[in-house]
Amino acid sequence: MPVLWIVLAVLGLGLIGYFVGRSRALGSAGGDIRQLHSLPSYYGWNAFMFTVVPSLIVLALWLLFAPTLIENRIAATLPQATLEQSGSTSLLMSEVRRAADALDLAVQQGTMDDAFSRNLRAEFTDVTGRLKATGSIITQDVTQPVLRAAQQYRVMSSTSNLIMSVLVVVLAVVGLIYALLRTNRDFRARNTVEIGIKSILILASSIAILTTLGIVLSMLFETANFFDQYPWQSFFFGTKWAPDFRGNSALGMLPLLWGTLYISTVALLVAVPIGLFAAIYLSEYAGPRLRAVAKPMIEILAGIPTIVYGLFALITVGPFLRDAIASPLGLGNNTNSVMTAGLVMGVMLIPFVSSLSDDIINAVPQSMRDGSFGLGATQSETIRQVVLPAALPGVVGAILLAASRAIGETMIVVMGAGAAAAQMDQGLGAIINPFQAMTTVTVKIVSQLTGDTDFASPETLVAFALGLTLFVITLGLNVLALIIVRKYREQYE
């Protein structure tokens, strides 16, 4: 039975549970709602929950784990020689799966009947040709062991499917009956539903946390591989970035890290003051009519794709900065520069800072301002000494969001600051000159992973180490902000 049908059946049972539960509860109280512990619909939801939740959990777990279990058992039955021939078990298993799918398809299209597909032998029939005829993607010749495995795979998955369907539906029915049996006027359905709602919320937050954990783990794994092949000292403290796919690369992280921090700092120096001031003007000074126009206009900035900002940097800002500042001052002849990328990125970040800060400043209660005005403070004194301190935790959050965006930005950097890593061995001037081309960690992650590469050489694996470093940095930023906000909270409020 296809999964969709099972889900629909369970939901149908749940719906029946809802209505029966509700009317049973009403019946047990003789139709008088006041006799019930909870409102009738709570009894309905209670029955719905008991019907749907356990069975769908089992369904999900089964779908998640059954394929792996089946594949493991089949892999164990494959002859050693076949395994060695194909090189890796996972490659072979995907071949088996493809063959099985193709068989399914052939049966479905009617080019084979079911019995034939089960007894088919590669020695006697042109299996590969017939399976290809179904339109499936078969890359290699289907050999007899693979075909055997595929046939077995089909049998096992259809058995597993059957068991699953029966189990899930039975579970739903059991849950339904259990909930209905417990439904009487003293049953605390309202509290049960409360627990159910709480569980949904917990589930949602744990999914978010688990995903983060999963990302970190997968990165950790590859990063460990990288450090097996490349000394960590040279990665963390190396001042030269010169990857070479023929080997002998210098993969020092410092030039990239410096580029990231430098460009982000310039961007934040642009975005934070402008964004914050704009937010203060809009929320404290501007009239409602101006605000209604200006706020969406600023937010449009956030909707522009970064590639468009990149173009702006490349063809307008870069040449302008070179001709107006860098060349006359003898600071270089690059259109690509830290300044270009930083300025343009700063403009991109303005709405992040201003829009959030504006909401936060607006949330400061009017009575705070009244208190300050009532003591004879001017508007800017009030803002500096009362409104902003009260809004600080939120403003820090807004700035942090902008910082994370800046650190993760790639497009604007490539087009504005180029793709050449900082030359840290050419003296301090080359390092701090803001009109120098420079690049960031994210750009190098992309360039290490594009092109014809296998995931085994240090030149590609370094991308994971870089990614993890970036993650740790943003995490550190978050923790730092948390500490700042805590400290502030301890003082006030």
Partner 1 sequence: MDTKEIKFECRDCQVYYGDKHAIKDVSVDIEDKTVTAFIGPSGCGKSTFLRCLNRMNDTIDAARVMGGFLLDGEDIYDRRVDPVQLRAKVGMVFQRPNPFPKSIYDNVAYGPKIHGLAKNKAELDEIVERSLRRGAIWDEVKDRLDSPGTGLSGGQQQRLCIARAVATEPEVLLMDEPCSALDPIATAQVEELIDELRANYSVVIVTHSMQQAARVSQKTAFFHLGNLVEFGETGEIFTNPKDPRTESYITGRIG
Q: Which of 30, 376, 429, 451 forms a contact with partner 1 (CB under 8 A)?
A: 376
Residue that the structure tokens 């900002």 belong to: 309
CB of residue 385 to partner 1, shortest distance in Å: 7
**452 DSSP β-pair partners:** none
Over the window 379 to 398, marking each residue x when it contacts partner 1 by CB under 8 A and - when it does not, the resulting string is --x---xx--xx--------
Of the chain, the end-to-end C-alpha distance in Å amounts to: 59
CB of residue 361 to partner 1, shortest distance in Å: 14
For partner 1, give the closer residue by CB, 31 or 374. Answer: 374
Closest CA to 342 of 412, 258, 278, 275: 412
Residue that the structure tokens 């902000």 belong to: 481
- Work out whether 369 is an interface residue with partner 1 (CB under 8 A): yes
CB of residue 480 to partner 1, shortest distance in Å: 22
Kindly indicate which of the ranges 200-208, 297-305, 331-339, 370-378 contains the residues binding partner 1, using the contact rule CB under 8 A.
370-378
Kindly indicate which of the ranges 24-32, 163-171, 368-376, 477-485 contains the residues binding partner 1, using the contact rule CB under 8 A.
368-376
Q: In Å, how far from its chain's centre is CA 474?
A: 15
Residue 396 contacts residue 388 (beta carbons within 8 Å)? no
- Work out whether 491 is an interface residue with partner 1 (CB under 8 A): yes
CB of residue 370 to partner 1, shortest distance in Å: 6
Closest CA to 338 of 270, 398, 272: 270
For partner 1, give the closer residue by CB, 188 or 486. Answer: 486
Q: Which of 2, 374, 429, 451 forms a contact with partner 1 (CB under 8 A)?
A: 374
Q: Which of 366, 428, 452, 454 forms a contact with partner 1 (CB under 8 A)?
A: 366
- Work out whether 372 is an interface residue with partner 1 (CB under 8 A): yes
Residue 332 contacts residue 430 (beta carbons within 8 Å)? no
Q: Which of 169, 177, 250, 377 forms a contact with partner 1 (CB under 8 A)?
A: 377
CB of residue 437 to partner 1, shortest distance in Å: 47
For partner 1, give the closer residue by CB, 139 or 367. Answer: 367
Q: Which of 167, 368, 419, 449 forms a contact with partner 1 (CB under 8 A)?
A: 368
171 exposure class (CB count in 10 Å sphere: 0-12, 13-18, 19+): buried
Task: Give the integer Cα–Cα distance in Å for 136 and 172.
Answer: 37
Kindly indicate which of the ranges 153-161, 203-211, 238-246, 363-371 contains the residues binding partner 1, using the contact rule CB under 8 A.
363-371
- CA dihedral (51, 53, 56, 61) in degrees, to 10, reads -140
How many Å is the maximal CA-CA distance in the chain? 99
AA letter at 53: V
Task: Give the integer Cα–Cα distance in Å for 287 and 282.
Answer: 8
Residue 315 contacts residue 271 (beta carbons within 8 Å)? no
Cα angle value 432/433/438 (rounded, 5°): 85
Q: Which of 367, 429, 451, 452 forms a contact with partner 1 (CB under 8 A)?
A: 367
Kindly indicate which of the ranges 182-190, 300-308, 431-439, 485-493 contains the residues binding partner 1, using the contact rule CB under 8 A.
485-493
Residue 298 contacts residue 355 (beta carbons within 8 Å)? yes
- Work out whether 378 is an interface residue with partner 1 (CB under 8 A): yes
Give me the phi and psi of 241, to 5 degrees please: -115, 105
- Work out whether 169 is an interface residue with partner 1 (CB under 8 A): no
CB of residue 285 to partner 1, shortest distance in Å: 13
Residue 145 contacts residue 82 (beta carbons within 8 Å)? yes
Would you say the C-alpha torsion 108, 110, 115, 119 has a positive or negative sign?
negative
For partner 1, give the closer residue by CB, 286 or 449. Answer: 286
Kindly indicate which of the ranges 27-35, 136-144, 149-157, 377-385 contains the residues binding partner 1, using the contact rule CB under 8 A.
377-385
For partner 1, give the closer residue by CB, 68 or 366. Answer: 366
H or E segment to which residue 250 belongs: strand 250-251
Show contacts with partner 1 in window 274-293 (CB under 8 A).
Answer: 288
Task: Give the integer Cα–Cα distance in Å for 196 and 186.
Answer: 19
- Work out whether 303 is an interface residue with partner 1 (CB under 8 A): no
For partner 1, give the closer residue by CB, 67 or 389. Answer: 389
Task: Give the integer Cα–Cα distance in Å for 172 and 10.
Answer: 6
Tokens of 217: 């783990």
For partner 1, give the closer residue by CB, 354 or 372. Answer: 372
CB of residue 488 to partner 1, shortest distance in Å: 10
Show contacts with partner 1 in window 184-213 (CB under 8 A).
Answer: none
- Work out whether 485 is an interface residue with partner 1 (CB under 8 A): no
Closest CA to 359 of 407, 305, 298: 298
Binding site for partner 1 (CB under 8 A): 288, 365-378, 381, 385-386, 389-390, 491-493
